[in-house]
Structure 1
C-alpha cells in the first residue's frame, strides 16, 4: 500500500534550525532518522508533526528510521571527528595559521568530511588536507563560518545566564542594528550590547517592533514640552517607553517624571506631542550614551 508523502521538520545536532524533509511515512517527535541532505546521509531528530508538502518547495528526504547500527556508526564517526578536530588544531598552531577549527563532521557513509572553521581574513588551508586524508578516505570540504555560526555550533552562555539563542531556537540570523538599542533606551556600551560571538545581541530584535510602536506616543528626546496640569515647561531628557513616561528637566532645574499624555509641545516647538506623529517611525533621534 502506497503512503502519501509528508514533510517532517528535523534538526541536526549542531544547529537549532529545522529542516523540512520529505518522508514516505510520519515519525514521532524525537525519533532519530537517517536523512539525505545537501552533504549526504546524516542522522537527525524529528522535531515536529508531519505536514503536507508544498509543490513549489524543494526538500531533502528521510531515508528511514535510524537503526541501532546507524546510531553506533554515527557515534563512532562523531568521536572520530572530534579527534581529528583536535589534531588539526594542533597542526594549525604548529604552522601558525590564524584560524580556529570549530567542528569536523562526517556524513554517515563517510564519503564527505566537513571542516568548519572561523578566520578573521581569507586563509588557505590546503596544507591541512593531507592531515585529514591520512586518517580518512572521505572527500574534504573546508567551510568558512561567521562568528554567529560559530557560537551556534559551539553553544555559549549569554549575559542573561541562559544558553545563547543562536544555539537553542533561532531559525535565521536576522539583521541587528544599533538603532534597535537606541529605540529601547539601552546604554550604548559595546560590552553590554554584544553577545559571546562579539556581534550585537540577537535578542535586540525580539521586542524592537513593540518599542517602535510605543515611541510613537512619546516626544523626542531634547524636545521642549509643557505640563498640562502645572504649566511647568522644560526639556525631555529621557524616555521610558514601557511606562509611557518621560523625564523632564524643568526651567527651575528640577528633574521630574511625567506621563506623556499630560504633556504638550512648548509654544516654540510646534504641534502638541501625539497630534502629529506619523505611523512610520518613532520621533526619537538620540539615546543615552
Structure 2
C-alpha cells in the first residue's frame, strides 16, 4: 500500500495521485506539484489515503509544497493573463484567416507554456500562428485541437434537466455512452431528446444504467405472453420499469381487456427479441449510431 492524495488542476478535471510525504495536507488545500507539463498549482480533492501500489503509476511524484499566499497570488495573476492571451490569440487567428474556433487559453503555473484549446472541422495548419504567438508571449506555445465534448466541458452550460452540465460540474472523465443504455431505459431514440449540449449522447445515460439493467431482468418484454395469478392469459402491452408494473392485454370471456399487474403477480418465460422498427425509427437509430462512433478520448488532461 502507498499513501497518496488526489489533485485536480481544473474544475471537474481528472484526478491525479501525488505523494504527500510528511506534509499535513487536507481536502480543499492548494498544492504545488511537478507534472509532465511543468510546475502546476492544484486543488486537493480528498484527504490522504492508502491505495494499492498497482493502482498508482510509479514513480509517484511528491507534493513540492502547500501553496503559499504568494502562490495563490501568482495563480490569480495567471488567470488574468489568460484572459488577455485569449484576446490576443483571437486577433491572430483572424489575421491569419484560419477556420478555427478558440475555446480557452491556459498558462502553466510557472509560465513555461501557454496552451490554446480550439475546435475545427478538419486539420488546421497553424504553424505560422504558433510563430506569431511565440513572438508575442516569449514562451512555449501549444495549440491543441479538442472535440465538442471537451469544448462543452470547458464552457459549461445548463442541461435539459435544468441543472449544470455533468461534465462541467463533477464528471472527472468521459464515460463510454451507448445506444443500448437508452434502449434499456425505454427512452425515445430521437437524437434530439437524448443528445446533450455537445451534440453527443448524454453522459447521464450512464448514471442509472446498472439500476435499469437489474430492474429489467425481473420484467417480461413487450409482446411476451404471460399468465396472471388469477389464471388469465395475455400479452404484455407495456411495462413500468421503476414501479415494476406490467400492463397486460388479457382475454376475459369473448373480450380483451388491459389490466395492470405487479411483476410478482405474473408467470412468464422471458424471451429476447428485436422490436420491428419503422423507417423513421431506423433513421433515428442510424443517426444515434453515428454519434456513438464519434465519441473520443478527452484531450484536456496530460499531466
Normalization by structure 1: what TM-score? 0.82
The runs of at least 4 aligned residues of structure 1 exceeding 6 Å deviation read none
Contact 1:219 1:284 survives alignment (8 Å) = no
- CA gap of 1:255–1:22, structure 2 versus 1, over 3 A, is same
Q: Deviations over 1:161-200 (max 9, x none)?
A: 2211112222322211111111111112212211111111
Match of residue 43 from structure 1: 41
Q: Deviations over 1:193-241 (max 9, x none)?
A: 11111111111111111211111121222223343425252x3232211
Counterpart of 2:269 (choices 260, 269, 273) is 273
Contact 1:29 1:46 survives alignment (8 Å) = yes
SS at match of 1:23: coil
Within the alignment, does 1:114 sit opposite 2:112 as a pair? no
Number of aligned residue pairs: give it: 270
SS at match of 1:29: coil
Distance in 1 between residues matched to 2:237 and 2:124, nearest whole Å: 49
Distance in 1 between residues matched to 2:93 and 2:237, nearest whole Å: 53
Match of residue 32 from structure 2: 34
In proportion to residue count, which structure has more helix? 2
- CA gap of 1:51–1:254, structure 2 versus 1, over 3 A, is same
Task: Report which structure shows greater RCO (CA 8 Å, sep ≥6).
Answer: 2
Contact 1:82 1:104 survives alignment (8 Å) = yes
Normalization by structure 2: what TM-score? 0.79
Contact 1:38 1:60 survives alignment (8 Å) = no
Contact 2:184 2:209 survives alignment (8 Å) = yes
Structure 2 unaligned spans of 5+: 282-303
Contact 2:4 2:50 survives alignment (8 Å) = yes
SS at match of 2:16: strand
Distance in 2 between residues matched to 1:153 and 1:188, nearest whole Å: 27
Match of residue 92 from structure 1: 93
Distance in 2 between residues matched to 1:284 and 1:216, nearest whole Å: 14
